[in-house]
Structure 1
């Protein structure tokens, strides 16, 4: 059976070659696959384009984007505003399960130095809530003058445009080739700084955890306040030297406990109380300190999960920060419906949230399918 990659580029109809992204992406797709990278013959591999919002709407509403391999391409100009993208978001946010079973990545091309990542994480968050899995490091972005490819181009001895082409091609191949076999007795690592007696976030996690008993081994690591030193920015060479020995200059619980647990786990669960529309200090420090280990090995085979509880609102903001830092930056896979969010203000009040028990059980089922099942 042939392999198909669906390329969605809304607004591209009638303007092929008219923008940098149109020109470069069209050239890349015409050359796929190369060197047997897909373990498929060229004859058995097809690239299908969806070039307008109407075509996207029609297929999405008829479940035509379920169980698909998708590469989304967005031109956002200098303003970061792509009206076709926002039309898509309007539809995606209304349809649960519209991308169930699908695997995706995205390319965002801008004419300025801003907005590419902001646009990307907003789209990824919404598509993920509609069932889409995103591969680790799912974003290829291009900024003004391709300045963000200057280092990659210099290291490889090629032009920034060639480096951009390679980034799109590599992403397309990872989306098309993605597979994840079920794990036998998988391990889920849970990191948090919650007060286990009164924290709504930990209470919601406990509701989830009780449904995971026979599915996976769960290891929890609690970060005490003041226990973790944040990264202060060693030189690249220093960080690399320590990382290759599974060490970090600052040592402590990150090196002694977290690094070994992170290397051996199949999924990472982060418990994130939302106090100020931002990740807490300890989890932020953990993510920063993960860089040393990342120098040694990447995390393309590991999944990211999170339980996020806000006092009033803003769970989407915290989830987007995780998408940025852990999925786009540190290469963790973003499984469908990766985050369970809730609103609870008073201690213990999350237990009274609407349908919270049912939501916790459903979320646990999703974790079990990703880690133990054969969905992908």
Structure 2
């Protein structure tokens, strides 16, 4: 399947273009977003951004403006991302912002959609050692693997089993109230499983060596055991879609949900989650819900390999206890999100 590359041009983009041209499938094209963002629906897209020494790309910001301005601009498309930098900073930051904006514009993303290269290529040192190659070759191989996965991607099967993870108190949680509205609107044939992680029940990752983590993962376990091994790991294996129910604590995921994400590493060592969708419900007391959505993208889509469907996250603001269900049109909003979850 051919690929459309969106490559905002600057003084540093020529090497990225030269790297991609021989790797692309027949019929693929490289487009400059600054020439227009029309006719990008139902495509395989590859965002390729080269940053300057300040971590910026002025043409990229024009593309970002277009993405944020239309929620159907990329409807039906699926994408990957490549970001290169001159320095050591901002590659992940730019990629995360771009994925969130494109997802809001209707674009889905492969699991592990990002290949990033800092100026020193030190972030490829481990992959280079594993592959017995130098860092530059490891980067090229990663780009080639991403292009191949994007070209070969096929739609996922329908959602039949949903897992919802939360760390909230049911009697007081606007986040769980929003989930109840979404859950009520899901088709009856969809199986729903919920796991609550509260009161320090999930110790954070022990930081085991790669070998030790792989060993525990092969046993379906983890250093700490407990609810992660007994409940979360089996539930993640069973589900077609993971829904993260996130109350906004200081513009970040709660400690228990963060620990849960970190502890998924042992399971990730054993298997990839390319065929499992990621969704999020984020409720903020004031603002900043988009920061949590970006955190979910970075941790679970870019890192842990969950597939990111279009419009993956429902963001709401509700401060006082019980105020969520009084928001204007909230039942219709929740029902629309439930329908989005079921869209192939």
TM-score normalised by the chain length of structure 1: 0.88
- Quick check: 24-33 or 70-79, which moved more? 24-33
List per-residue Cα deviations over 1:35-85 (Å, max 9, x = no partner).
xxxxxxxxxx311110241233xx1xxxx1110000011011221211111
Distance in 1 (CA, whole Å) between partners of 2:259 and 2:100 is: 23
Distance in 2 (CA, whole Å) between partners of 1:181 and 1:291 is: 23
Q: CA deviation at 1:112?
A: 1.1
| Residue 293, structure 1, aligned to residue 267, structure 2 | yes
60, 83, 87: which is aligned to 1:108?
83
Where does residue 69 of structure 2 map in the other structure? 94
- Quick check: 45-54 or 256-265, which moved more? 45-54
Distance in 2 (CA, whole Å) between partners of 1:121 and 1:187 is: 28
Question: 5 Å matches for 1:212-227?
Answer: 212-227=186-201
Where does residue 55 of structure 1 map in the other structure? 36
Cα RMSD between the aligned structures? 1.5
Q: CA deviation at 1:358?
A: 1.6
Q: CA deviation at 1:31?
A: 3.7
298, 321, 330: which is aligned to 1:324?
298
List per-residue Cα deviations over 1:174-193 (Å, max 9, x = no partner).
1121113423x711101111
In structure 2, runs of 5+ residues without a counterpart are: none
Distance in 2 (CA, whole Å) between partners of 1:120 and 1:355 is: 33
235, 239, 248: which is aligned to 1:261?
235
Tell me the secondary structure at the aligned position of residue 96 of structure 2: helix
Where does residue 132 of structure 1 map in the other structure? 107
CA 31–235 in structure 1, closer or farther in 2 if over 3 Å, else same: closer
Tell me the secondary structure at the aligned position of residue 284 of structure 1: helix
331, 335, 341: which is aligned to 1:361?
335
Distance in 2 (CA, whole Å) between partners of 1:203 and 1:294 is: 30
| Residue 312, structure 1, aligned to residue 304, structure 2 | no
CA 304–52 in structure 1, closer or farther in 2 if over 3 Å, else same: closer
| Residue 196, structure 1, aligned to residue 194, structure 2 | no
Distance in 2 (CA, whole Å) between partners of 1:286 and 1:359 is: 28
Distance in 2 (CA, whole Å) between partners of 1:124 and 1:251 is: 34
Partners of 1:270 and 1:306 within 8 A in 2? yes
Where does residue 277 of structure 1 map in the other structure? 251
- Quick check: 261-270 or 350-359, which moved more? 350-359
List per-residue Cα deviations over 1:113-172 (Å, max 9, x = no partner).
111111100010011011000000010000022111122122222222221111111111
Where does residue 22 of structure 1 map in the other structure? 14
Q: CA deviation at 1:333?
A: 0.5
223, 232, 241: which is aligned to 2:206?
232
Equivalent residue pairs, number: 344
Tell me the secondary structure at the aligned position of residue 77 of structure 1: coil
In structure 1, runs of 5+ residues without a counterpart are: 13-17, 34-44, 371-376
Partners of 2:16 and 2:48 within 8 A in 1? no
Distance in 2 (CA, whole Å) between partners of 1:314 and 1:31 is: 39
Question: 5 Å matches for 1:149-160?
Answer: 149-160=124-135
Where does residue 339 of structure 1 map in the other structure? 313
Tell me the secondary structure at the aligned position of residue 7 of structure 1: strand
